[in-house]
Structure 1
Amino acid sequence: MSNILIVDDEPNILLSLEFLFKKEGYKVFIARDGEEAMTLIQESVPELVILDIMMPKVDGYEVCKYLKQRHKGVKVIFLTAKSKTQEIQKGLDLGADLYLTKPFSTKELVSKVKSLMS
């Protein structure tokens, strides 16, 4: 079973994505900010991280940088409201495998996750 870590400071997004991916058969962990995410990653490295950028304490860019320095094989999907070209480029430059903007299609997200995990 594949492990997914979902990191977002928006409770509704956390709940809906946790439900969605559990229903798809994934083992799901959640974190409400980047600091919590980095603690969870130290305890158990996920195969994929779905990551918001704008969060309290530590932002998604820092979490991605941290992940890619220590665990190169972990897939990262940025799921964020930041949609400017330079923000997208920064995310991809840090090693994100995919950059999706909010609002998003859950169907598309599930499909992208499945293709990244296969």
Structure 2
Amino acid sequence: MSHDSKIVVIDDDRGIVLGVQMRLAHAGYQVHVAYDGAEGLELIRSENPDLVLLDVQMPHLDGLSVLKTLQDDPDTVTPPVIMLSASLQDRQTALDAGAHYFLTKPYRSSDLLDAVTSVFSVPAGMG
């Protein structure tokens, strides 16, 4: 893990975003936040993050659509993605869509940090 690692958090629940932002910033990451999928896509393209934490279920543009848009854009390198959802039913769909990791809400702070560490510890091209 590098303290230069940038993480984009995209979730429509501002309380969850604040909690995640505080935990990750405390762990030494640069954290950028968006509250919907369209804003999140713009942020990913402008910040070129090392990791994205992405809620599956959001109004307007859901997390799976954001992931597909990233993957289909030849001008954007898709960073590793950890999908978040309160629904276990979203787990396999998210992983099949290309998510590197899935966390079920609510999750413990330690689970979030373990997931981030796990994704960062996978060698490039192996995710």
What TM-score, normalized to structure 2? 0.85
For the pair 1:5 / 2:33, whether they are aligned, the reply is no
RMSD: 1.3
1:92 aligns with 2:95: yes
CA distance in 2, matches of 1:42, 1:73: 9
User: Greater CA deviation, 63-72 or 87-96?
Assistant: 63-72
Deviation digits for residues 7-26 of structure 1 (CA, Å, limit 9, x no counterpart): 11111101011011011010
1:69 deviation in Å?
3.0
* Partner Cα separation in structure 2 for residue 117 and residue 69 of structure 1: 23
Aligned residues: 116
Q: Distance in 1 between matches of 2:7 and 2:70?
A: 14
Question: Structure 1 segments of 4 or more deviating over 6 A?
Answer: none
* Amino acid aligned to 2:82: I
Counterpart Cα distance in 2 of 1:106 and 1:58: 26
- Pairing partner for 1:19 from 12, 16, 22: 22
Match of 1:30 in 2: 33
Q: Greater helix percent: which structure?
A: 1
Q: Which runs of 5+ in 2 are unaligned?
A: 122-127
Unaligned runs of 5+ in 1: none
> 68, 81, 84: which is aligned to 1:79?
84
Identity %: 38
Q: Aligned in 2, Cα 1:80/1:12: closer, same or farther, shift over 3 Å? A: same
Deviations 1:31-83 (A, max 9, x none): 00001001111212111111111112100001111223344551111111121
